[in-house]
Amino acid sequence: MSANFEEQGYRVSREQAVPGDGTVDLVAENDRERVAIEVETGKSDIAENIRKLAGAGFDRIVLVATSPAAVAACQRALERGVAEAGVRAELLTWLDLG
């Protein structure tokens, strides 16, 4: 997954702490933006993860769903969490990164 961002000119780092309690799986940065990338299995509180990252200074949040169940869970969370958090977010799947 990080190779996709690196090919686009981003510098990618793993497991960065975010304000409050937690970390973000990957951070992709270039001169224009800072992107939080969360790998989602559908078992975590995805809406809460979105809210956590929204307040952490990222320009964009990318959720990467690892299964069909995770896709559905991410879609539900995006419908709720993005509206509440007021942040730009998108959903990718394991197929998008192939």
**11-64 pLDDT, tens digit each:** 999 988 888 778 899 999 999 999 999 999 988 888 888 888 888 889 999 999
Output Rg (C-alpha) for the chain, integer angstroms: 12
Residues 6+ apart with CB under 8 A from 37: 1, 5, 24, 25, 26, 27, 28, 61, 62, 64
Give the mean model confidence (pLDDT) for residues 79-90. 70
Considering the entire predicted model, what is its pTM?
Answer: 0.87
Q: Where residue 84 falls among pLDDT bands split at 50, 70, 90?
A: low
Q: Which CATH class is domain 2-93?
A: alpha beta
pLDDT of residue 93: 86
Name the pLDDT band for 1 (thresholds 50, 70, 90): low
Question: Residues 10, 42: contact at Cβ < 8 Å?
Answer: no
